[in-house]
Structure formats: structure tokens, C-alpha cells
Structure 1
Amino acid sequence: MNDASSSNRRPAAASRGRTRATGRVTLADVAALAGVSPITASRVVAGKTTVRQELAERVQAAVAQLGYRPDPSARALASAKSSHVVVLIPLLSNTLFTELLESVQNVMWDAGYPIFVGITQYQPAREAALLESYLSHRPAGLILTGFDRSEAQRRLIADSSTPCVHVMELSPDPALYCVGLSQREAAQTVAQHLLARGRRRIAFVGAQLDPRTLERAEGFRSVLSAAGCHDPRLEFLDDRPSSAALGAEAFRRLITAHPDLDGVFFCNDDLAHGALLEALRMGIPVPDRVSVVGFNDLPGNEQMLPALTSLRTPRREVGEAAARMLLQLIRGETVDTPVLDLGFELKIRASS
């Protein structure tokens, strides 16, 4: 059927919308209802932008009317790849990653790609095992958190020829597709804010000690060292998981050992929440005696007493942008900005 000549033809009836054998709506059914060729319908469903807008709109209307979903097995046979996308994140208990994951899911679902989620728990050996397992199923694409991988893992990803996008960190290498922010610059912004508030005895509290936390520590040190007030004794670094209880412990130990402490930068908001509660228990006024700043700006910060100043990371935006970038790679399209910096925002509230 010629698309141009078919524009004045009446679309096929919706009753033709399901095959007898399986009851599944096929791409041919969509094409018939839209009055276009199966090739044109395929291009629209695949997200190609080379189809005229009027034809694309007819195909999209037919997809909606028939409830068409791409056939995973057909797509896998055509591409020698599975139809799913793999997303590896450290934790599901951290709101940062659940928000990022929801954004990825929304974009991929609309494009017809279900996602498989792997939880690494910040354990390199677990991530290596998950990668090997998932890649054996030939996924259409990968979304990975950060760059902290062994050479063997990087080689495994490269040899699989699976499109891959990294999230929450940035790489100077344009061959590595990534969406995120500079963790170092974000921490520098927090340190500069505390200095601008007149603070000089400023502590850093880090937990989990994953690469992003360590980058924040480096950014913090660089600013305080330049200002001549970095004191390594005011760093509390603990590889235990981040929690409010650990934040309370860190605050209590720091303020007891260093009564002149006047500022604390916590690498996660749950740590800062614990510190604010501990300050209330100890009768230490925040921010009159000590300023407190968190990181990520997760829900609940405005409800703390006092409301918590925090560095907002754009995790939902990162998830959406990473998913769209991965779709471009899956479709063989050119990605204009392979290293996409979405920045950050310091949300200044009463705690600093």
C-alpha cells in the first residue's frame, strides 16, 4: 500500500484488530487501521522521526485504539537482542534511586521496553555477578549507576555490544554515555555556603563510602583547604550504610570531641536528619551554634526542625534523560551530548 495515495482511503475497521490465532494485536492490524504500510507503522512504533507527522499521528491513534504493544519475541528475533532493558542500582531503600528508577520505567514502558532491576547493595562482586547474568540474556540496553567497575566488567560490557548509559556521575570520556552531575562541584558548593555563613570549624560526615561519597569528600576538602581551615580530625568516614542512627552517632561524637565545631556537611540527608534529632536531644541550637547541611534534598527536609538545608540532585530528571539517551542508542541514532550534566541546586533552609 502506498502511504501517500492511502491518505484519502477509509481506515480498516477496528474489528480486524486481533489475529485469530493468538488474540494479539499485531503491527499489521495497526497499519491497516491507520491506512499506512506495515513499514511505516513499524517506524513510528520504533520512535523513528523520518515519518510525516500526519502519518505518525494516524499510527499513534491506531496504537491507542487497538491497545497495541510491541511483540517482545518478534523484536528479539529481528534484532538478536531481548526486548528488555537492565537497570542496576545500589539500593531500593534509598528514595534517590527509587525516584530515578520510576523515571526510567515511565520512559521505557512508553517505548515498549520492560525493565529488569538488579540491586547491587554497593557490593562490586554482586554487581559483577548481576552483570554477567543479565548480559547472558542479551538485553536491549543497560543503565548503570556510576563508573566503579573492574576492567573485566568494562570489557564484558564492551564485548556484549549492549548500549549502556551511566547515571549520577559524569565522565570526561565522550565514549562513555552518562547523565548526572559533578559530585565534587556539588560538595564544593556546600562548603562555600558554610564558609559564607561564617563557619570555620566544619566537619564532613560520610557513610557507605561509595565513589560518589568519596568525590564529595574530595570536593569538601579542596574548598576548606583553600580557605585554610581544613582539619582532617573533623572528618567522620564510616563504611556502614547511611542511616539516621549513624548520623546521630556521628554528630554526638564530633560535637563532644570538638566543642568548637560550628558546621557539619552530611553526605546524605538521612544522616543529617539523625543529627538534627540528636542536636534537639542534646540541647544544641541549630544553626545558632552549629550549621547542618545534607545532600540530595530528599522528601521530609522541610518538615525537620529546623528545616534542613540540602544540595538537591535531579534524580528524576537524570532517570528520564538517561532512558531517552539509551533509546537513542538502541535505535542507532546519534547522541549529540553523550556526557549530559544536569547540575544541582542548593536548597537553603533554616538549618544553616
Structure 2
Amino acid sequence: MTRIGSRTTGRPTLAEVARLSGVSPITASRALRGVSTVAPELVEKVQVAAASLGYVANPAARALASAQSQSIVVLIPSLSNHLFIDTLEAIHEVMRPRGLEVLIGNYHYDIAEEENLIRNYLAYQPRGILLTGFDRSDVAKQMLAASGVPCVHMMELGGEAQAMSVGFSQQEAGRAAARHLLERGCKRPGFIAAQLDPRVMQRAEGFRQALAEAGMDAHAREMLAPQPSSIGLGGELFAQLLQRHADVDGIFFCNDDLAQGAILEALRQGIKVPQQVAMVGFNDLPASAHMVPRLTSIRTPRAAIGRCAAQALLGLLDGKRGQVQSQDLGFELMVRESS
């Protein structure tokens, strides 16, 4: 077979794929993008043709031809946090049947880095953007507003007028942790946190408010570290808190890995959990239910947030009106042996 290919690159073209598979270029494009309305037998023909030709899609050319890409941008602050992995998986599950590519930007909790990512991704004319929270630079906010690209915010609620958000109240989660420790009889509860991003500090504020309402010193027993959250850091912060406040009898950790590290450090020091110190984590990561003792934690709807945020964004792309601006998916306190 004589192959024409692109005049400029010599690479196989979509037109060749369509011709070889006996479908129109539009159908070939949709089949390769995974659009669910294309019949399975046609998808198979197009995929076989593409494979035989060595065809690779050119998203830049497609965006130029349509004045818009078929990409959705997702900006998250960490790829090492299990929380965001679950969310990303759910987003992919929603977007894939629509033939939309998911581009992931990791800004490492740095708003300047996020601003650069937003600037670079907007140049590719994405169909929509999923953002984590509301904390970003004024320049980033201006670029997003001027672009007209539909946006949905994840993990937090409210934050900006007319902004669509999917998440839960971080502050109420902190209050729930405090109330649980108080109900368990803790008289001197403490708080341990790392990373100190806006959502962590919202949880801290809720925790402090609940203690203040109970007549306790809200800041008396806290360890706040700017480093990334980890099991090792959790053990270190727990030991430091005990050195400073040996009377602490309950602790809320801003993330489960910190609490997991504290449980291991308590084991090393011969401290009984929860008899001497009760512990409550956050996010209910997979290992938490298997710790010794099993960790009490606040379960967050990570996958549901990704799924609902992606669906909300598709609604904006489809021009649907009357969507709920703020979707509160709530959280669940998983009471286990550590408290």
C-alpha cells in the first residue's frame, strides 16, 4: 500500500487511518478518543488501522483546527498524597467515555508554580479546568477569569462568588474531631499538623473553635510543621509534643500518615493508645484500618469528589443551567480502637 502521510512530517495522518478503516475522519477521531457513541466494531477497525500505520494523534493540530483542544486540566498540589490519586482515578473514569484527555499539573503546594502551570495550560486552550481549593495568586485568578474556560473547584466549599465547588467543610471536620475527643473524656487534647496548606488550617480552626466552646485553651497543645506530611514526621512531632506537654491525653492529626507514625512511636515508647493518649487521624487512608490499634479517622469522599467535580464540569461544557454551585459531599467519622 502506498502511504501519503503528512506533507510536512511524513507521519501517518488521521485521513489515512479513516480511509484504511473505511470510516469518516470524524468517526476515526472519535473512536481514537474513546467517545462512547462510536460502535465497538468501528472502534476496533480504527484501532487496528491506526496500529498498522503507526498513527499517533497530534493534539496540537486538532486544537488548531477546532480552535479548542479536547483536554481537561486538573491541578493538584501533590502526587504523593493518596487522597489525590483516588480523586484523579475518578476524574479519568468520567472523562474517558467523553473522549476527553486529562492533563495533570502538580504544583507542590506552591502558588507561584500553580500560576505558571495555569499560564502554560491556558495556551493549549483546554475545554475546562479542575482546581484544588481556592488559594491561588491574584494573577492566576485574573488569567482564569479572562480565559472564559469553565472551572470547578475541588475539596473545599464556597470561597468565591459564582464559583462552582465540590467538597466538604474542612472546618466542620476539625470540629468533629475535637468533639469526638471531648466525648471520649479527653481533658487536654492537642493538635499535630504538617504541610499547613489552607485546608489543613481550616481544619485547625474548626478544632480550635470546638475546644474554645468547651472552655479550653485552643492553642495550648499544638505542633505545626511546614514540612510535607509523612509517617516519619508524625513520629517526630508526637515525641516533641509529649516532651513539651506530657499531660496531653488526646490528639487530632491533620493527616493519617502523621497519626500512623505517632502510633508507631507510641509503641516504641511504651505509651498505651488510647488509654494514655487517644488519637484521631484525617482522610482514612487504606492502612489506617489495619494499624495496631486500628486508627480512628475522618473519612473523606476522595473518589466521589473527583467524580462529581468531573460531572459538574461536563455539565458546564454542555451548557446545562441550574447546576448547584456548591456540592457538599460531607465526611464520616470512622471510630476505631485508637480513641
Q: Same fold (TM over 0.5)?
A: yes
Q: Deviations over 1:5-35 (max 9, x none)?
A: xxxxxxxxxxxxx732x648547669xxxxx
Aligned-partner SS, 1:19 = helix
Query: Which residue type is aligned with residue 166 of structure 1?
Result: H
Q: Deviations over 1:193-219 (max 9, x none)?
A: 111001120111111110000000000
Task: Quote how far apart the aligned CAs of 1:323 are.
Answer: 0.7
Q: CA 1:74 to 1:227, structure 2 compared with 1: closer, same or farther past 3 Å?
A: same
- 1:219 aligns with one of 206, 228, 231: 206
Give the Cα–Cα distance (whole angstroms) in 1 for the partners of residues 314 and 210 of structure 2.
39
Contact 1:174 1:338 (C-alpha < 8 Å) held by counterparts = no
Query: Which residue type is aligned with residue 250 of structure 1?
Result: L
Give the Cα–Cα distance (whole angstroms) in 1 for the partners of residues 303 and 21 of structure 2.
37
1:187-202 equivalences under 5 Å are 187-202=174-189
1:1-352 equivalences under 5 Å are 19-20=18-19, 23=21, 25-26=23-24, 76=63, 80-171=67-158, 173=160, 175-352=162-339
Say which is worse superposed, 70-79 or 221-230, in terms of deviation. 70-79
Q: Deviations over 1:20-79 (max 9, x none)?
A: 2x648547669xxxxxxxxxx9xxx989xxxxxxxx8xx666766766899967974675
The equivalent of 2:13 in structure 1 is: none
Q: CA 1:196 to 1:26, structure 2 compared with 1: closer, same or farther past 3 Å?
A: farther
Give the Cα–Cα distance (whole angstroms) in 1 for the partners of residues 174 and 46 of structure 2.
47
Give the Cα–Cα distance (whole angstroms) in 1 for the partners of residues 119 and 179 of structure 2.
42
Give the Cα–Cα distance (whole angstroms) in 2 for the partners of residues 205 and 152 of structure 1.
33
Aligned-partner SS, 1:292 = strand
Point out where structure 2 has 5 or more consecutive residues left out of the alignment.
Answer: 1-16, 51-56
Task: Quote how far apart the aligned CAs of 1:233 are.
Answer: 2.9
Aligned-partner SS, 2:18 = coil
Q: Deviations over 1:289-315 (max 9, x none)?
A: 110000000110111010000000001
Give the Cα–Cα distance (whole angstroms) in 2 for the partners of residues 190 and 184 of structure 1.
10
Contact 1:73 1:83 (C-alpha < 8 Å) held by counterparts = no
**Kindly, what percent of the aligned residue pairs are identical?**
47
Give the Cα–Cα distance (whole angstroms) in 2 for the partners of residues 330 and 150 of structure 1.
25
Q: Deviations over 1:103-131 (max 9, x none)?
A: 11111111100111111100111111111
Give the Cα–Cα distance (whole angstroms) in 2 for the partners of residues 104 and 95 of structure 1.
15
**What TM-score do the two structures reach when normalised by structure 2?**
0.85
Query: Which residue type is aligned with residue 278 of structure 1?
Result: E
Query: Which residue type is aligned with residue 244 of structure 1?
Result: I
Query: Which residue type is aligned with residue 283 of structure 1?
Result: G
Give the Cα–Cα distance (whole angstroms) in 1 for the partners of residues 185 and 305 of structure 2.
33
Contact 1:328 1:335 (C-alpha < 8 Å) held by counterparts = no
Query: Which residue type is aligned with residue 177 of structure 1?
Result: M
The equivalent of 2:10 in structure 1 is: none
Say which is worse superposed, 101-110 or 329-338, in terms of deviation. 329-338
Q: CA 1:294 to 1:28, structure 2 compared with 1: closer, same or farther past 3 Å?
A: closer
Task: Quote how far apart the aligned CAs of 1:80 are.
Answer: 2.1
Query: Which residue type is aligned with residue 286 of structure 1?
Result: V
CA RMSD of aligned residues (A): 2.6
Contact 1:329 1:335 (C-alpha < 8 Å) held by counterparts = no
Task: Quote how far apart the aligned CAs of 1:152 are.
Answer: 1.4
Task: Quote how far apart the aligned CAs of 1:256 are.
Answer: 2.1
Say which is worse superposed, 128-137 or 331-340, in terms of deviation. 331-340
